[in-house]
Amino acid sequence: MTNFDSIRRQRFLSESYSKWLSKIIEEELTHWSSHVPPNGGSEAGRTALGARYVARDTFRKLLLQYTSGADLNLLRGELETVISALERYTELKRVAEDDDTYPPYMFGEIEEYEAAMQLIALCHLLHRCDLLPRLAAMLDPSYRAQDTLYEDLLAYGMDGRVDVDKWFHEPYRDLINSLYSDTDELGISLVVSYLDKWYPAMRSASWHDSHLKANEQEGGAYVGYWAIEAAAATFLLGLDDSSYRDHLLYPKDLIDFARSFQAVEGDDDGTDRLSLRCEAGQPCPKSGYWMTPAKAGSRRYLQQGAVMPTVASDYGSTIWQWDSDQSAPKLQ
């Protein structure tokens, strides 16, 4: 076994393919950063299309780096580069379309919806929740209050999100329900079910089955298959992933990084911040700001020992989560 084989995170990736594709992506990024595609209609449209290629390949580069075994501290910094490239594309596309609500991803297409959920999930797992408002600024004009998973994943890092009971794609039902599960056991079973259904659900994606052509003659689409949002849900809910952490599509190194980073950057008393959760009716385990995905804008300060309140919801019992941001609310 080569050193690459021991550090790669998915078995379909060979060292030669990884090096070849990394070089191709870098060349594409260099080219489209300084050239305008010949197609795309107007000059503004062509400029936006070039920016789209840059945003696409910047994200693909990060995913390939992860699959190839890159240090996650490096990827933590690279994530902002992905967001910045997406912002550039969004800005130019809105000018080209004369539409200041135009989103960088079309949620109606499962491939683009998945990319958006992956980015939000990466913000949580790489501890870059400071990037969430920038993502929301691009997506909210079209999709605020339109999708449960989008709102719930943002709600773990942002105030003022919306309680909504609808979503764009049926395959995400189990993951959404895991966020509202009454017990850890149910949450775990729902995440497992989601992981098992994830790959077949992505059959319309351009990269589906691309591992079958992950070579220098036919390849280029495969950068890794990762249900990153499943790891984010596991992390945010504080679930024990021992029964599914070796699932082919589960990015276990990302959640291990999230948990270990949290231990380094956490509270002085060692509290596991984001994984701390408490059901309504139970005594509050620690004084501080808490929130529940059962209700938008639920963030509130609760004293240790106080009874955790119940919030009216269609999702069963109320489960409170320790807010990663313990700063006091800003005055308006």
Cα–Cα distance measured from residue 326 to residue 76, given in angstroms and rounded to the nearest whole number: 22
pLDDT value of residue 274: 40
Give the pLDDT confidence of 92-104 residue by residue, as tens digits: 999 999 999 999 9
pLDDT value of residue 138: 98
User: Three-class SS string for 285-304?
Assistant: CCCEEEECCCCCCCCEEECC
* DSSP run (H or E) holding 73: helix 72-97
Give the rounded percent of residues in the chain with a pLDDT score beyond 70.
90
Cα–Cα distance measured from residue 188 to residue 178, given in angstroms and rounded to the nearest whole number: 7
Cα–Cα distance measured from residue 312 to residue 265, given in angstroms and rounded to the nearest whole number: 34
State how beta strands 277-279 and 288-291 pair.
Answer: unpaired
**Which tokens hold the place of 301?**
């300060």
Give the pLDDT confidence of 237-257 residue by residue, as tens digits: 999 999 999 999 999 999 999
Beta bridge partners of 272: none
At residue 75, the 3 state secondary structure works out as helix
Beta bridge partners of 300: 290
Give the pLDDT confidence of 3-14 residue by residue, as tens digits: 899 999 999 999
What are the residue ranges of CATH 1.10.3920.10 in the chain?
Answer: 3-265
Enumerate helices (H) and strands (E) in the chain, giving the number of each: 11, 4
Cα–Cα distance measured from residue 159 to residue 331, given in angstroms and rounded to the nearest whole number: 14
**What is the mean pLDDT of the segment spanning 278-282?**
81
Q: Do 308 and 283 contact (CB within 8 A), yes or no?
A: yes
Query: What is the pLDDT confidence band of residue 209, given thresholds at 50, 70 and 90?
Result: very high
Q: Identify which has the larger pLDDT, 332 or 287.
A: 287
CA 248 remoteness from chain centre: 18
Would you say residue 267 has pLDDT above 70? no
What are the φ and ψ backbone dihedral angles of 319, each rounded to 5 degrees?
A: -115, 120
**How are strands ordered across the β-sheet holding 288-291?**
277-279, 319-322, 288-291, 300-302
pLDDT value of residue 322: 78
For the chain, the average pLDDT equals 89
Give the pLDDT confidence of 15-32 residue by residue, as tens digits: 999 999 999 999 999 999
For residues 200-210, one letter each, b for 16 or more C-beta atoms within 10 angstroms of the residue's C-beta and e for the rest, the string is ebbeebebbeb
Would you say residue 166 has pLDDT above 80? yes
Would you say residue 130 has pLDDT above 80? yes
| Rg, Å, the chain Cα set | 20
Looking at the structure, give the CATH architecture of the domain made up of residues 3-265: Orthogonal Bundle (1.10)
Cα–Cα distance measured from residue 91 to residue 138, given in angstroms and rounded to the nearest whole number: 9
pLDDT value of residue 316: 53
- Closest CA relative to residue 64, chosen from 25, 117, 33: 25
pLDDT value of residue 168: 98
Q: Do 178 and 190 contact (CB within 8 A), yes or no?
A: yes
Q: Please name the residues in contact with 110: beta carbons below 8 A apart, sequence gap of 6 or more.
A: 168, 169, 171, 201, 202, 204, 205
Cα–Cα distance measured from residue 96 to residue 40, given in angstroms and rounded to the nearest whole number: 10
Query: What is the pLDDT confidence band of residue 320, given thresholds at 50, 70 and 90?
Result: confident
Beta bridge partners of 301: 289
pTM over 0.85: no
Query: What is the pLDDT confidence band of residue 225, given thresholds at 50, 70 and 90?
Result: very high
Query: What is the pLDDT confidence band of residue 282, given thresholds at 50, 70 and 90?
Result: confident
Q: Do 102 and 112 contact (CB within 8 A), yes or no?
A: no
Give the rounded percent of residues in the chain with a pLDDT score beyond 90.
73
Q: What is the dihedral of CA 172, 176, 178, 181, to 10 degrees?
A: -140
Cα–Cα distance measured from residue 283 to residue 232, given in angstroms and rounded to the nearest whole number: 26
pLDDT value of residue 1: 58
